[in-house]
Amino acid sequence: MDLKTQILKALGLEKDVEVKLEYQAKLTDGTIIVSSADDLVAGADVSILAEDGTTMPLPVGNYQVDDENGTSFTVEEEGLVAEIAVVEEEEARKEEEDYKDEEEVEMNEEIVEEVVEPSEVEEARHPKKIKTTEEIEFNKEEVIAEIGAVIKELLAEVRNDVSRLSAELDEMKNTNETLEIEKETLSAQLEAVSKEPAADPVTTNKFATNKKDVTPVEYRKMTRQEKFLYNLNNN
């Protein structure tokens, strides 16, 4: 026991100071750390808890707590936390930055979409004409009457065509009958001609007592033999 302790003890001023530890955690290297603060924050004391239960201030350095949040802290003065960094906070900050970037991109895209193209300006200056369709009332009786009138006209045209064809057929029939009559007449005439006696042949004989003068037409009708006899007789 040192002199100071002996003096304090003699004066009855020495008291066992009990330090109550509120925070305990484990580093990623397995070291157990403790603190009298409720949580590991900047400015809080931090110590190493040995196996025998004694504590010693945590040396200067960077440390990471083995927890779900991935908390890391820096000790710049032995036994005191200088700065706390939580991975989740970093990720949240990055996500927030990414979200802001996405919002800016979406805003830019909306601005681009809102820009009016020249074609749209032209359409605004010259709006397209919209065709309107008028509703027409349908009258069944009028439609039936119109259809009936059309059918009557078609039937009248058909009747006229039939009458015309019938007249043409009658005319052709009459023509055939006329031709048949003419044919029969010609046949009768030919038959009558064939039954008439032939003209008397011209006989020329040098011994004939009567001589007959022959016209040029009759002479041309003579056969070669008759012409020969006629010439012989006349000469």
CB atoms within 10 A of CB 33: 20
DSSP 139: -
CA distance 81 to 34: 12
CA distance 67 to 71: 7
Residue 61 main-chain phi, psi, to 5 deg: 160, 180
CA distance 195 to 49: 169
pLDDT at position 49 over 70: yes
pLDDT at residue 80, rounded to an integer: 94
CA distance 19 to 213: 193
Q: Among 6-10, 119-123, 135-139, 155-159, whose mean pLDDT is lowest?
A: 6-10
pLDDT at residue 207, rounded to an integer: 47
The residues with which 72 forms a beta bridge, in sequence order, are: 64, 85
pLDDT at residue 216, rounded to an integer: 85
Work out the average pLDDT over 21-34. 90
Judge whether 85 and 71 are in contact, CB under 8 Å: yes
The ranges assigned to domains in the chain are 17-110, 150-196, 199-235
pLDDT digits (tens, 9 = 90+) for 72-106: 999 999 999 999 987 655 566 677 777 777 777 67
